[in-house]
Structure 1
Amino acid sequence: MYKKLFLLLLIALIPLFPQTLYANEYETPSGIPLSEVEDYVDDYVSDYIGKTTAGASIVIVKNNEIVLSKEYGFGDIENQVKIDSGTSIFEWGSISKLFVWVSVMQLVEQGKINLDEDIRNYLPNGFIKHLKYDDPITMLDLMNHTAGFEERIFDLGYANANQLKPLDVGLQIAEPNQIYRPGEVVAYSNYSTSLAAYIVQLITDQDFNEYVEEHIFQRLGFSDSTAYLLSESNEQIIKNKVNGYELVDKGKFERSTEYYMSLYPSGAINGTAQDLAKFSNALMPQSQNKNVLFENEDTLKKLLSQSHSANEHAPGIAHGFWEYDGTYKGFTHGGNTNSFSSNFHIVPEENFSVIILTNQASELDISYGLVKELVGEKEQHTVSSSHLPSSKSLEGKYISARRIESGFLNLYAYLVPLTVTSINEKEIEVSLAGATAVYTQTYPDVYKMKNGHPLFIPTSVLYFSNDDGDIKQVHTSISDYLPMDKSPYWLTINAILAVYCFLFFILSPFVLIISNILSRKRKKQSLKIRKWIYLLNFAGAAFVLNVSLLIIRMLRNIDRAYTEVLPHIVTNYILTIISSISIAFFLINIKQDKTTKFQFYLYLLTIISIILLISLLITWQFYS
């Protein structure tokens, strides 16, 4: 009888203490029981480690306690050395940017930085030179990547540490052009972040890496991480650093070349996943303990509050963090170098975080795929289909706002566009670089990823803004896309003409040799103009060789100083001068020499082809 009464009483009291009974039932935001997390992760990564991913270090934190800290794969594949637990050092890539934004907010808290102030008021006079607009650029623009800078690859980093420059010098060498009006377009920018770090350096009168070490790393108790790897005190960290790899084929990995960032605040921190877990704990709501990063809890709240969004139903940016549309609102940032890939994801509402570091370039399956499984997806409350516009109007090709506009690398954006195709009235297929995903419309012109390649997980929500039905921008929290500004037909014609010019100047020397042999047999010599045509063909073949070598060098390694490609640019100018002189002397001497019709038309075709080739090189900026 007493047992029955006790049981009934217990059942009646269950609603009064649900946390006690259910706290450990669903520990991850996606609903995976804490007791099953390790098995789940083990099973997930087994499909990738050693097959498409070299190695990984994974840490999962719940309620400020590490519930999983585990390493997979090899840090040295050649010698079969496994990644060590808690000591293996990885490059964090762009996760490093988060430490710039925390530094900025520390100075905001102290009243030394105003987020809405024009950054030129903090910089030396004339420090930024390549501005297109007079509008002020604020620190908030730098945090939101809306300062309007184009992408720049040259001098961002180098394969040789001896090429590194001090931060201020590196910023001046690598300064990009401003191509968008401030505040209008999100164009992810390494330069913006490093510029913000330089402002921290100027205000504190302390090298940025030293500031981070003192005001963030030491406060958090980092033991195996450094903001500047080449410091003499980092001998042990360098020793513990794992090798970075590129995936050549399934199960086959190739050692990557070393990479040293000149604009180091944007992506040069090296450290462990366990130290990043300490960082994630400091970003959680502090109910009892004082926050070690900020004096005022409101500063942390401001840091993780939305600072930019194009639509209320689409995730935006929170002072440098990317908002994530998961089961619960997340804040995240990925990282990529030419040897490592990483992902840092926190869910403050659930006091949950996951950190994934891999020693492989462009890794997506674990760093993004596993995170998605752990944090889950937000349940969508879609608007009635009758209130949603047709997806047909979205079809087309879009180029990334994070693009190079100045110089020959501007061609890349047109070779790899974002392509949108309508599947039905409310679904679209999005493709990029051979990867595809299906998106479903959840609100007017807002599309949520339904399924597809992990490449699209960071941009799982797209918002298409329009002006009277014409798509103006495709908004994501990382970087926007803009409608293609060149006709596909125009691009196709350019491609055909380029192939023609290359083939012509590869084959024409052989045709000229045959023509010369035939002319000698017939005793029909045209020496005066023939030598200029020969020179013209030499110039054309040299153009083809020079541009081909430039493309091959960039494909093999894009981490170069501009001075390394400058000889190719200068060569194009020299060959253009040679070509112009050759054409001029040919026209002067054409009436003095006798030529066959075949020779005359061949010579004329050569002139037209060289002019066409030079025009294409000018169009695609192979002279800058």
Structure 2
Amino acid sequence: MKSHVATCATQQQQYQQQSYKSNSRWKRAVANILLVASLSFTTMSSVSAESSTPHPRISAQETESFLTQFFAQPEMKSALKGAVVTVVQDEQIVLNKGYGYANVAKQIPVDADSTLFRVASISKTLTATAIMQLAEKGKVKLNQDISTYTDGLDLTNHTRTALTLEHLMTHTSGFDFTDAAAIPRDLNRSYPLEQFIQDNKPSVVRSPGEVFRYDNYGYALLGYIVQKQSKLPFETYVQQHIFQPLGMSDSHFTLSRDTLSTLATPYGAEGEELSQYPNVPDSSPEGGLITTGRDMAHFMLAQLNQGSYQGARILDPSSVQDMQTLDVSIHPDIPGTGYGFESTYSQYNHGRKVVSKAGDLAGFHSNMWLLPNEKTGLFIVSNSDGPDLREALFHAFMDQFYPNNETQYADYSVPESSLRSYEGLYRDIRLPAWIYDISATAKGLQVVDAYGTHTLTPLKDMLFMDEDGKLAGFKKNQSGEITYFYYNKSDSWSEKLPEANPYDDVPEDHPYAPYIYRLTQIGLYPQDQSLFEPEKPVSRGEFVAQVVGISGMSISTQSPKFKDTVSSPYAAYIQTALELGIVQGSTRGLFHPEQAITRQEAAVIISRTAQQLLGAHAVSANLAGSQDHWAEEGVQFVVALGLYGPEVSISSSGAVNYRSKQLMLRQESSVLMYKMLGTLLH
């Protein structure tokens, strides 16, 4: 059996979350760090007892009528390029239908049986299936140190707790980095799984099993272990032990010329056609699955029929049950993660058990939901970064076929004195730039984050609900202190941060003190110094290191391309920024890392970061003063979003003098960084 693991924006700052989906580098590099945050808002409807009443039968005619009406809605028609929707129930495919186009320009319609789609992180469910198969055969043990199975792979573990397969499958590895840096690769360039594992090795910095953090590298490592223990390439193993038994004849974990010829064309957020791109690595256990609606129907039916499909068994019933038990959670009332499964859009579960998996890559977005007690599965995949159809589809599907079956919470109150123990600043484990500021009120908690201000009302010990019905949970450490928080960003927990030690030269009434101490809390500034030196200029290297460091991305291991950064303590950060397109060097191949950065240079870096990693668009502002032509777009971006402090003057006509050519001081940089957190993540 499985073990249980235990700043408000201005109107100018209202960037849609959709902008996070438009950049392929960010997609591949961070693989849902921001996007997945919107997928799993949990409400009270998700925590009631499972229904024991007979489940309603879903007919093909009723399902097709429902989907026809769904896609006929104007907002759905405008969002759609192409999609496949598949519904299964009681060992039968109820409906498997394509909508829209696999290629718009060529007017090639989607064929649900033959059009290939990338399903991204749904791949993880099949990788977990492969591990469970090896466990059933005695080739691996889920609770054993993975070093037994990794053939000498040297992973540094700074804790006293062994890292196991179970930790990898439940995203509780404790790795410092769980997402590989994005390096664009040519379709014809091979990148073997073993090389990828070696190139991107993280370290274990938290006790495995302690905290949830979505883990792409962990699932790539699971695929590597499948290779080692089966003595077959990962793609070959899955082909022989999952695809062939289930009749998934059009499913692949590698990209070839044949798969490219029938792979749906991806489209960006503005409807533009995107170029096809390779799997990284070639056989990508964490996100490389390319498949059809029909093949996904076969896989869902096997999961819903205790591991078998049309007489072919791929898993024992006990393994299926373990995979679908979402008990790795911050609180028993909040659905968590299982082996390859999670809980997406669980506010629409209507009191029923639902296990699911979502997937996101540039131009492709997928979701699979299974209702084990109702023997029902729903799958959708689309080929566009336009407005997301998945939440609306699941919401409408559950309202239509499985309406509310909820239980209510009894009244529960907590003294304000007890609520104060929850107060503090919480930093997301996966994305350090995402923070929560929590304070106690007379009847509950107030939470300020990138989405705005929320009120949490207590329901049970360590369990709260906001004004929209979303659940939030807390976890204590062994000493009984509040340690972790989970709320509206579904891909990781957040940790409570200790108060910052005061700097001798930054008193409480210092105009920049709130920004400096908040950033010190989240680790941007060192705590082992008595002086902050607020009026000291920031060097180019230090500024870039702060921008890259706060993103939570893994740092490049490539040799520095700038000749003058080789001996710099910021070399790896500067190289990462270069690879991501955030910085450029001089014509002589130099970066000048020790040179003080100007305010306009800093503005350009922030603007590029927002555009390259978050898909933000250029904005205009009413500027006073002068700035170089090459910096004008960056300065306008920073000024339009209000990313500055009291050092900036505004004329009676509203023109802003950003003082572009002056040096950026440390106190001024603190405002820029802190306001960026509450603005660009909104």
Check the 8 A contact 1:345/1:354 in 2, yes or no.
yes
Give the SS at the match of 2:218: helix
Counterpart in the other structure of 1:446 = 463
CA shift for structure 1 position 270? 0.6
Give the SS at the match of 1:43: helix
| Aligned counterparts of 1:466 and 1:559: Cα–Cα separation in 2 | 28
1:271 aligns with 2:291: yes
Q: Identity of counterpart residues, as a percentage?
A: 23
Give the SS at the match of 1:355: strand
Check the 8 A contact 1:448/1:461 in 2, yes or no.
yes
1:559-610 deviations in Å (ceiling 9; x for gaps):
9975387549548667668769xxxxxxxxxxxxxxxxxxxxxxxxxxx969
2:443 aligned to which of 425, 433, 457: 425
Counterpart in the other structure of 1:191 = 217
Distance 1:578 1:109, change over 3 A: closer
Letter in 1 for 2:474: F
| Aligned counterparts of 2:454 and 2:75: Cα–Cα separation in 1 | 20
Give the SS at the match of 2:354: strand
1:281 aligns with 2:293: no
Check the 8 A contact 2:535/2:665 in 1, yes or no.
no
More helix by share: 1
Counterpart in the other structure of 1:370 = 393
CA shift for structure 1 position 162? 4.5
Counterpart in the other structure of 1:247 = 269
Give the SS at the match of 1:255: coil
Check the 8 A contact 2:178/2:214 in 1, yes or no.
no
Give the SS at the match of 1:489: helix
Letter in 1 for 2:397: L
1:344-398 deviations in Å (ceiling 9; x for gaps):
11011000110011113486x4223322332466613203233698877656553
1:474 aligned to which of 470, 485, 497: 485
Counterpart in the other structure of 1:533 = none
1:261 aligns with 2:280: yes
Counterpart in the other structure of 1:463 = 473
Counterpart in the other structure of 1:334 = 358
Check the 8 A contact 1:91/1:340 in 2, yes or no.
yes
2:136 aligned to which of 109, 112, 116: 109
Check the 8 A contact 2:180/2:217 in 1, yes or no.
no
CA shift for structure 1 position 486? 7.6
| Aligned counterparts of 1:359 and 1:449: Cα–Cα separation in 2 | 34
Counterpart in the other structure of 2:247 = 221
CA shift for structure 1 position 131? 2.2
1:61-82 deviations in Å (ceiling 9; x for gaps):
1222222323333332344443
2:330 aligned to which of 298, 310, 319: 310
Point out where structure 2 has 5 or more consecutive residues left out of the alignment.
1-52, 501-513, 526-531, 572-589, 597-661, 675-682
1:360 aligns with 2:377: no
| Aligned counterparts of 1:469 and 1:382: Cα–Cα separation in 2 | 25
1:63 aligns with 2:99: no
2:193 aligned to which of 167, 187, 191: 167
| Number of residues of Structure 1 aligned to a counterpart in Structure 2 | 496
Distance 1:492 1:392, change over 3 A: closer
CA shift for structure 1 position 260? 2.5
Distance 1:69 1:577, change over 3 A: closer
| Aligned counterparts of 2:66 and 2:118: Cα–Cα separation in 1 | 26
1:466-511 deviations in Å (ceiling 9; x for gaps):
468853112477421223568653267899999999xx89xxxxxx
1:208-242 deviations in Å (ceiling 9; x for gaps):
11100110001110122211123x6xx1x321111
Check the 8 A contact 2:413/2:458 in 1, yes or no.
no
Give the SS at the match of 2:430: coil
Task: Give the number of the structure whose alpha-carbon radius of gyration is greater.
Answer: 1
Alignment of 1:21-60 (within 5 A): 26-27=56-57, 36-45=62-71, 46-60=73-87
| Aligned counterparts of 1:300 and 1:319: Cα–Cα separation in 2 | 9
Alignment of 1:73-152 (within 5 A): 73-125=100-152, 127-152=153-178
1:350 aligned to which of 374, 386, 396: 374
CA shift for structure 1 position 145? 1.1
| Aligned counterparts of 1:243 and 1:265: Cα–Cα separation in 2 | 22
CA shift for structure 1 position 284? 1.2
Counterpart in the other structure of 2:430 = 402
| Aligned counterparts of 1:439 and 1:58: Cα–Cα separation in 2 | 36
Distance 1:333 1:295, change over 3 A: closer
| Aligned counterparts of 2:66 and 2:467: Cα–Cα separation in 1 | 22
Distance 1:238 1:293, change over 3 A: farther
Check the 8 A contact 1:246/1:256 in 2, yes or no.
no
Alignment TM-score, normalising by the size of structure 1:
0.67
Alignment TM-score, normalising by the size of structure 2:
0.62
Check the 8 A contact 2:365/2:382 in 1, yes or no.
yes
Give the SS at the match of 2:369: strand
Check the 8 A contact 1:247/1:254 in 2, yes or no.
no
Distance 1:346 1:440, change over 3 A: farther
Letter in 2 for 1:462: A
Check the 8 A contact 1:391/1:428 in 2, yes or no.
no
Distance 1:362 1:465, change over 3 A: farther
Give the SS at the match of 1:321: coil
Letter in 2 for 1:182: P
Check the 8 A contact 1:282/1:291 in 2, yes or no.
no
Check the 8 A contact 1:420/1:428 in 2, yes or no.
yes
CA shift for structure 1 position 286? 4.6
Check the 8 A contact 2:307/2:315 in 1, yes or no.
no
CA shift for structure 1 position 53? 4.6
| Aligned counterparts of 2:334 and 2:378: Cα–Cα separation in 1 | 22
| Aligned counterparts of 1:213 and 1:449: Cα–Cα separation in 2 | 45
Distance 1:289 1:91, change over 3 A: closer
Letter in 2 for 1:247: A
